[in-house]
Structure 1
Amino acid sequence: SLEAAENRANRSNERVDLGNDLPASSLAAAALAAAKTKTGLPYVYGASGPSSFDCSGLTSWAYAQAGARIPRPSQGQANAGTRLSMSQLMPGDLVLFYGDLHHVGLYAGNGLVLHAPRTGTFVRYESINNMPFQFGVRI
């Protein structure tokens, strides 16, 4: 049917090549899987889900779905685990951006971050190189 073909086309547009890096842990895998279900939902400042998110709202919600409580603000998440360089990142790790650490996302694999960027945008995948990377954090 035309509707089925259109649904297939919409899905294929959403397919992202995340490579085949293994997640850092089953916890990280579960958090990333939870966050993936929220792609396309709107960024709303201060929102912690489940229908809209800001950056740290998405990451804290995702880890909560996986059974881990992490701090809500990005600066708190920056100190919630082991710090990593870019070359050490594995899917599900937190990635912190900007000198004041005001932005956080989840490393999704293949140089991509899954994050809630800013007002007027939606939860999406983006190149890790589009923002000033500071360090990763493994929960």
Structure 2
Amino acid sequence: MKKKLTAVAVGCALLFTLGTGSAFADSKLDSAVDKALGSKYASGGTTTSGFDCSGFTMFVFGKLGIELPHQSGSQYKMGTAVSKDELIPGDLVFFNTNGKGVSHVGVMVSDGKFAHASSSKGVVISKLSDDYYVKRYVGAKRILSTDKFEQVTSDTEDHDDVE
């Protein structure tokens, strides 16, 4: 049953990502990420005035009604492990950028791309296939249930709760 639900969720994700531009141009997930894009990096930051990586994922998931702790290692302990070939928008991706274990986190936004707060560039979208991230990739976790995934990635006209 769990494998069937996962297959359905992945299938839905693939259908959504076949378009051009942003995979979820009118979704709650996309709207939450868009509100933060371009924000500067700030250690300990959790607002559009400045984010660190886990502050950014806290912000995005907070807009979706899900609380996350403010530390990438703590976020890594949540959810269900997901293999790289099963990643869908909303999955958290984790990296070891300092040689001491999980130290960076981002959120998948479309096929092979994730949004994150880069210490040098602020909140940006990067490719998981970039050499830097390939070498530092630790794993991924699915925080969103199948129902929540469908809710936050479906097109919607009403974004009042994401303001």
Counterpart of 1:40 in 2: which secondary structure?
A: coil
- Normalising by structure 1, what TM-score? 0.74
Unaligned 5+ segments in structure 2 are 1-15, 19-26, 144-163
Q: Which stretches of structure 1, 4 residues or longer, exceed 4 Å deviation after superposition?
A: none
Alignment of 1:87-106 (within 5 A): 87-98=85-96, 100-106=101-107
Per-residue deviation, residues 9-40 of structure 1 (Å, max 9, x unmatched): xxxxxxxxxx716xxxxxxx634531222111
Pick aligned residue for 1:79 from 62, 77, 80? 77
| Whole-angstrom distance in 1 between the partners of 2:29 and 2:42 | 20
Amino acid at match of 1:61: F
CA distance in 1, matches of 2:110, 2:138: 17
What SS is found at the alignment partner of 2:93? Answer: strand
**CA-based RMSD:** 1.7
2 CA distance for matches of 1:31 and 1:64? 11
- Larger helix share, 1 or 2: 2
Aligned residues: 113
User: Structure 1: 5+ residue runs without aligned partners?
Assistant: 1-18, 22-28
Query: Given the alignment of the two structures, is residue 43 of structure 1 paired with residue 41 of structure 2, yes or no?
Result: yes
Q: TM-score, normalised by structure 2?
A: 0.64
* Contact 2:88/2:111, CA 8 A, preserved across alignment: no
> Residue type matched to 1:138 in 2?
R
Percent identity of paired positions between Structure 1 and Structure 2:
31
Note if 1:112 corresponds to 2:118: no
SS of aligned partner of 2:118: coil
- For 2:78 and 2:29, the matched residues in 1 are separated by 15
